[in-house]
Structure 1
């Protein structure tokens, strides 16, 4: 079932026209959200990121789009899935039909779809750099827009080369993120992650992990520019997103990594998920 503007519909009954702006121009944004036992994980963070993204893209935020309203709509959608304890939810917001590059209106439609979240952290996880195209730095790249062509091409490259993921670079050839999440690099007592100014998504779990590391007495967190060469010299590397939480990377090119701190961090994150912080 799909929730389209508050109405639950079978997929075949959802009517998106050829003038849909998300389809024609990528004029839309989305949140990928985990729901466990009818509880939306880190919901406030997702909600406020969505509101900030809509404002940045000059979308008209409906008066009814409150934290409580959207929470109810999400749970209404996941309730249809029977015998599913962990849900993957995509909340898509796009400008209403009409116009060319200039829209006829800034009013929006929304669509919520849910499915079982079957992701399990992998014991062996191999990544490499995708060099064909760049993820350009700047604030627009920090928003989860519908335009995911770079991520799609990098994912195809990963599949063709027996990789689990690819690292995306910006126009300065600095590390930005991976195809489906943020990246962290550990060397000695310093943990680095690309700064938002490098063009990475303003990830919800990224923020939570930064908060955990900042309070850790044995490590220093740096949001900064990272070169691919630094990854090859790292002790550990891990990636984060809302569904998998933390996925340790075990291999980059010919370099193998340990996963000790990454696993401890994953346990700390799980505590936050349960507590709802």
Structure 2
């Protein structure tokens, strides 16, 4: 079942048409998050990011778009799919309503909620090979729009095709200044000694929720020094560890880039702390 503007529909129901602005112009935002037994992980952070992004894109925020209302709609969707007592992946999409060409005739919005079952309730690490490559065909623009979770993901699609064709599990993206920005599906962290580096938002990386939570954890730890800084491609092979973060996987260690193989000790340590944070602050 899919939730469209507060009504549950079977998945095969056709409730969008060819004028949908998300389809025509990518005029849409989305949040992807974990639900655990009917509780949304880091829901407040996801909600605040969505509201901020809607304001930046000049979308009209409905009066009923409160945290409680949208959370209730997500819970109803989980129940409609019998996933309220299971781990689940939730996608909340908001798009500007039909009308206009590049210039919209309205800033009013609609929303869609879809859910799928997940295997594990909390984040976990799999001991498997995870080799990445560097995608250099197209670049991320280092501006505010690149930090938003919009439906404009053609760069990520092309990078994913490149990764599949070349046998990579993922690819790292560069911005127009040739700094490493992020992975195809999440933020990037680099570990060297006790320093943990991650690109700043000014480089154009996604304003990721798990990135934010992990940074909050790192600044409280004496064992590590968090540094927000641009990362050169040449630094990748000098690192002790590389890992990717997103709201579904949590932390994904990279095992190999070119000829360099990496450990995952810091990633394992931080994953436990991330799960503890999720339990305390769902």
Q: Normalised by the shorter chain, which TM-score bucket?
A: over 0.9
After TM superposition, give the deviation of residue 122 of structure 1 in Å: 3.3
Pairwise CA distance, 1:85: 1.1
Aligned counterpart, 1:122: 126
SS at match of 1:62: coil
Aligned to 2:34: 34
Partners in 2 of 1:101 and 1:224 — Cα distance? Answer: 35
Structure 1's unaligned 5+ residue stretches are none
**Structure 1 counterpart of 2:248:** 243
Given the superposition, is the C-alpha separation of residues 28 and 170 from structure 1 closer, same or farther in structure 2, using an over 3 Å criterion?
A: same
The whole-number CA distance in structure 2 between the counterparts of 1:175 and 1:181 is: 12
- Equivalent in the alignment of 2:23: 23
In terms of mean alpha carbon deviation, does 153-162 or 103-112 score higher? 153-162
Q: After TM superposition, give the deviation of residue 161 of structure 1 in Å.
A: 1.1
For 1:55-70, list aligned pairs within 5 A.
Answer: 55-70=55-70
TM-superposed CA distance for 1:17, in Å, is 1.0
1:199 corresponds to which of 178, 200, 204 = 204
Shift of 1:58: 0.1
Residues 121 and 14 from structure 1, CA distance in 2 versus in 1: closer, same or farther, beyond 3 angstroms? farther
Q: Which residue of 1 aligns with 2:110?
A: 109
CA distance in 1, matches of 2:125, 2:14: 33
- Taking the aligned partners of 1:122 and 1:194, their CA distance within structure 2 comes to 25
Partner deviation per Cα, 1:16-41 (whole Å, 9 max, x = no partner): 01110000000000000110111100
Q: Confirm or deny: 8 A CA contact 2:8 2:80 kept in the other structure.
A: no
What CA distance in whole angstroms lies between the structure 1 residues aligned with 2:62 and 2:166? 45
The answer to whether the 8 Å contact 2:32/2:247 transfers is: yes
Residue 228 of structure 1 and its aligned partner are, at CA, apart by 1.1
TM-score (norm 1): 0.97
Tell me, in whole angstroms, the C-alpha distance in 2 between the residues paired with 1:7 and 1:117: 24
Q: Distance in 2 between matches of 1:118 and 1:16?
A: 30
Query: What do residues 114-171 of structure 1 show as CA deviations (whole Å, max 9, x unaligned)?
Result: 0112476432211111010001111110001101000011111111111110000000
> Is 1:142 the counterpart of 2:147 in the alignment?
yes
The reply on whether 1:131 has 2:144 as its aligned counterpart is no
Q: Where in structure 2 are the equivalents of 1:198-237 lying within 5 Å?
A: 198-237=203-242
Task: Render the CA deviation track for 1:36-91: whole Å, top value 9, x for unaligned.
Answer: 11110000000000000000000000000000000000111111223661111110
Residue deviations 1:178-237, cap 9 Å, x none? 000000000111110000000000000000100111111121111111011111100011
Pair 1:178 & 2:183 matched: yes
Aligned partners of 1:87 and 1:117 also within 8 Å = yes
Gaps spanning 5+ residues in structure 2: where?
none
Which whole-Å CA distance do the structure 2 matches of 1:131 and 1:170 have between them?
9
Moved over 6 A (4+): none
Residue in 2 that maps onto 1:44: 44
Give the number of aligned pairs: 277
Write the distance in 1 (CA, Å) between the matches of 2:184 and 2:2. 26
